[in-house]
Structure 1
Amino acid sequence: MKKLYSIMVILALSIVLVACGNGNGGTTGDGDENPDKLVVWADSTYWGGENGKLVAEMVKRYTEESGIEVVYEAQPDLDNKLRGASLGGESPDLIIWDRWQTVTYIQDGLLVNLDKYIAEDGIDTSEYQQEALNEMVLDDSVYGFPLDIDAWGYWVNKTVLNEAGITELPKTWDELRAAAIATTKYEGSTMVRAGMNMDTSGAFYSYLQTAGGKLLNDDNKTVAFNSDAGKAVLKYWYKLIHEDKVYDRSFASTQGGADDPFVTQRFAIQANSLLNGSQFYKTYIGDNFEYEFIPFPQGPSSEYATVDNPAGSNHGGLMGGFGLAVPQSSKYKKAAWNLIKWWITDTENQVLWSEISGLIPAKLEIINDPRMRDIPNVRNVIDSLPYIKARPKVAGYTAVETSVIMNKISSLLFEGGYVRGNDTVDKRVQAALNDMEKTANDILAFAAGM
């Protein structure tokens, strides 16, 4: 009973991908197809500030072309605001939505099924990067279109790297470790620059792929990370922190704005996404030093390689990104669809959005355009796109990531977890993986039965 209660608490504290309502999301109630005004909402955490200006620029252009005023409003609590709109509160007509949460809101009946509009306008969904599009698909029905492809990886201070004698951006685990060691700086026993931010347990899924492993078994009901690949990831991270000493958790306690540790060069290598870093670093770094984005390097390292899994042989990473969707509470559903169509399905407007934002578009025609390789930061991600994966669309996975993977890896790496009864690093890593596996499988089983 105690174990069951613990699982219920974890699920309650996390956004769990389980059905809570009507998932059919019809397209009835289009209302006036030629409104005077449309309202667009997005989460201000990601689409406020400098990023918000990108959205404002696009909707301004649509207003000029269509004659329909589009008002963009960044929301500090988009989730609750949208749920309030479904109960009769103020509602947007269109939302910019974090794609990995889409299935939850489809199942809760909050998003409009776009199949009717897609068929009427002859839109070919195969023209889009399928991993990104599929995050907004449930039971073969489409509930949104990907606004961008956001890759997670590292922002690298190239100036510091060059000063350390490294002229090439790291492409493998071995090269990344060498770069982190070379750029770590001490004055006496005091760290003044960390070679790399290692407080990144959320990158486990990405690293697992680059180690040649996978997160879930083929049945999508149990986890597969308690494996040689999982061990390789945790041992690699443990060594960087405790033996190479490229990072001290107490070293950088501030983040954001001008005090961001990558901006102030307290970190030489910072884990972040292409979206999160692009406009932010442009604003706060300017030309103070040279920097560039790289996807997660290929693994495993030579130390953990095998004959069947050679060093640096695996690509991988986490695909993030946002999409455009129409809430069921929208008064002007068809007009909102027309805005999506203008923004996402029109090639010229997709090119325009890519030029304005510096982000990777989801339309394959544009991804494969040679001009994309001339865009700094974006160009390094193009070859990795076929390998990076979105989060699994499995009930309970969100809780597994936030409450199990991130929590327990952090305990292992920084809080002395799993030391008792385990006198070697190998034993501690194995104990952590065993604990993670058991708890994660309990959560997935519980979520599947709800």
Structure 2
Amino acid sequence: MKTSPRRLLAIGVAAATAVALVACSAGGNAAGGNAADGAPEKVTFWGSWSGDQVAQLDAQADAFNESQDKYEVSYVAQELVEEKLLTGLASGDVPDVVLWDRYNTSLYVPKNALAPLDEYIEADNVDVGQFFDQALSELVIDDVTYGMPLLVDNRSLFYNTAALDEAGVEAPTTWDELKSVAEATTVHDGGTLTRTGFQLNDPGLFNTWLAQAGGQMYSADEKTTAFNSPEGLEVLDFWQSLLDAGVYELGFGEGVDAFAEGNVALKLDGPWALSSLDAAGTEYGIVQPPAGPTGDKGAGMGGFGLIIPQGAKNADGAWEFIKWWTTQPKNGVAFGEISGWIPANIEAANDPYFTDNPKYAAFIETLEYAKVRSRIPGASDVEGKALIPQLERFLAGEINAEEALSEAQNLGDQILADNQ
């Protein structure tokens, strides 16, 4: 097969560099991944998924391989796949396609690690409107598309049906109801907490709570933080009310799946939890995250896409695999049946397999308003280095709400200024 102009554009490397890549790469098939004697061309697929998830990805690759006879995709699990990709770019040993945490796109495009896909999209008339817009937005930098959305998720509210039935309450839909149900389902034995009404163990979800309170993480001009606000204080005041009511204690349930064991009545979690809970025989239900004091809804959208690295030896084969998986709804549904993950393809996500299952229905409903994390330069450090550490100190009782948000604002604003 001759190397196509589209592939050359996607690879985006100088001729001399391309020669060097071929010379030092493993695997041997030099001319665009061609195989000898008419055998299928090899397509190497990297991702960070391991353990039981390898079988899921192998099954999907096998389905693609059986659907045509030109390409053969093989999955190779990699620890720290993003770092390994950068190392591979330097050595010339890169895969053809990567299962990609979409949030990393804005960090790795400046490193020249990802190949643009717009030429492929235009040549094959792919309608990108078939994907959840928020998911697609994480893969588009400066109007250039670097990947296709594959999987989406959000945190919805899980509840232990036995615990709620025992207390004679229903799944909450608002903050006030959440506190009431948490109090009703909390169990102490001789002063020891044995079942928490709500697992308040993830301060990294503050941005979701803030949206439910009607607040914003950043100012309109994106130059400063905006979480040190009445809405931000409202979030922490609500958290404090849960702690004061004794429905949760810091560190409760750590190291085990306390919800699966029946020791947690309510928790925020994602669709990745379904398979283990079902395997454990846990009786549970799922509803949308609770609305805030004035009815505002909020949820975060995460998930994966598929990208082609710069220097991929078989970018054409990688694109055919990406297109097959992401743009044909039946293939997205099939992987959902294998893995439990929700497709980023809207039609696939709204397949009866998901919408007729009450455990998935809440996630699908929540995706209608879920938003991805900010791509403002420095935003990840604002959360990871400025905000979350102060929230952890607040939950530990070391500082009050005003101090936590003020200290986080000071450091967060400096981080944003340094990244302007």
Bucket of the pairwise TM-score, normalised by the shorter protein: 0.7 to 0.9
Work out the CA distance in 2 between the residues paired with 1:376 and 1:71. Answer: 34
Normalised by the size of structure 2, how large is the TM-score? 0.88
2:249 corresponding residue in structure 1:
248
2:229 corresponding residue in structure 1:
227
For 1:38, the aligned partner's letter is V
Unaligned runs of 5+ in 2: 1-8, 19-30
* Paired residue secondary structure (2:360): coil
Deviation at 1:89, TM superposition (A): 5.3
- Ranked by relative contact order (alpha carbons within 8 Å, sequence separation 6 or more), the top structure is 1
* Paired residue secondary structure (1:445): helix
2:23 corresponding residue in structure 1:
none
* Paired residue secondary structure (2:321): helix
Deviation at 1:272, TM superposition (A): 2.4
* Paired residue secondary structure (2:73): strand
Q: How much is the aligned-residue C-alpha RMSD, in angstroms?
A: 2.0
1:237 corresponding residue in structure 2:
239
2:276 corresponding residue in structure 1:
280
2:390 corresponding residue in structure 1:
408
1:444 corresponding residue in structure 2:
416
Confirm whether residue 271 of structure 1 aligns to residue 253 of structure 2: no
Work out the CA distance in 2 between the residues paired with 1:370 and 1:52. Answer: 26
Contact 1:33 1:334 (8 Å CA) reproduced? no
* Paired residue secondary structure (1:37): strand
2:313 corresponding residue in structure 1:
331
Contact 1:344 1:350 (8 Å CA) reproduced? yes
2:165 corresponding residue in structure 1:
162
Deviation at 1:389, TM superposition (A): 0.8
Deviation at 1:219, TM superposition (A): 0.7
Assess, with a 3 A threshold, how the Cα gap between structure 1 residues 417 and 210 changes in structure 2: closer, same or farther.
same
1:15 corresponding residue in structure 2:
none
Assess, with a 3 A threshold, how the Cα gap between structure 1 residues 114 and 129 changes in structure 2: closer, same or farther.
same
1:277-356 equivalences under 5 Å are 277-283=273-279, 285=280, 287=281, 289-300=282-293, 310=294, 313-356=295-338
Assess, with a 3 A threshold, how the Cα gap between structure 1 residues 352 and 251 changes in structure 2: closer, same or farther.
closer
Contact 1:295 1:380 (8 Å CA) reproduced? yes
For 1:41, the aligned partner's letter is W
The one of 193, 203, 206 aligned to 1:204: 206
For 1:77, the aligned partner's letter is L
Contact 1:158 1:292 (8 Å CA) reproduced? yes
Work out the CA distance in 2 between the residues paired with 1:120 and 1:25. Answer: 13
Work out the CA distance in 2 between the residues paired with 1:395 and 1:33. Answer: 40
1:256-276: CA deviations, max 9, x gaps?
xxxx2222222222332223x
For 2:124, the aligned partner's letter is D
Work out the CA distance in 2 between the residues paired with 1:31 and 1:90. Answer: 14
* Paired residue secondary structure (1:435): helix
1:128-155: CA deviations, max 9, x gaps?
1111100000011111111111112333
1:19-48: CA deviations, max 9, x gaps?
xxxxx97556782477532221111xxx22
1:181-192 equivalences under 5 Å are 181-192=183-194
The one of 59, 62, 65 aligned to 2:64: 62
Work out the CA distance in 2 between the residues paired with 1:102 and 1:268. Answer: 36
- Identity, in percent, stands at 35
* Paired residue secondary structure (2:100): strand
Work out the CA distance in 2 between the residues paired with 1:294 and 1:107. Answer: 39
Work out the CA distance in 1 between the residues paired with 2:350 and 2:101. Answer: 24
1:261 corresponding residue in structure 2:
258
For 1:88, the aligned partner's letter is S
* Paired residue secondary structure (1:379): helix
* Paired residue secondary structure (2:181): helix
Moved more, 34-43 or 127-136: 34-43
Contact 2:12 2:311 (8 Å CA) reproduced? no
Contact 2:152 2:343 (8 Å CA) reproduced? yes
Work out the CA distance in 1 between the residues paired with 2:79 and 2:126. Answer: 33
Unaligned runs of 5+ in 1: 1-23, 301-309, 419-427
1:76-225 equivalences under 5 Å are 76-88=79-91, 90-166=93-169, 168-225=170-227
Normalised by the size of structure 1, how large is the TM-score? 0.82
The one of 398, 416, 419 aligned to 1:417: 398
* Paired residue secondary structure (2:343): coil
Deviation at 1:80, TM superposition (A): 2.0
1:99-146: CA deviations, max 9, x gaps?
111111111110110001001101011221111100000011111111
Moved more, 64-73 or 128-137: 64-73
Contact 1:151 1:295 (8 Å CA) reproduced? no
For 2:380, the aligned partner's letter is T
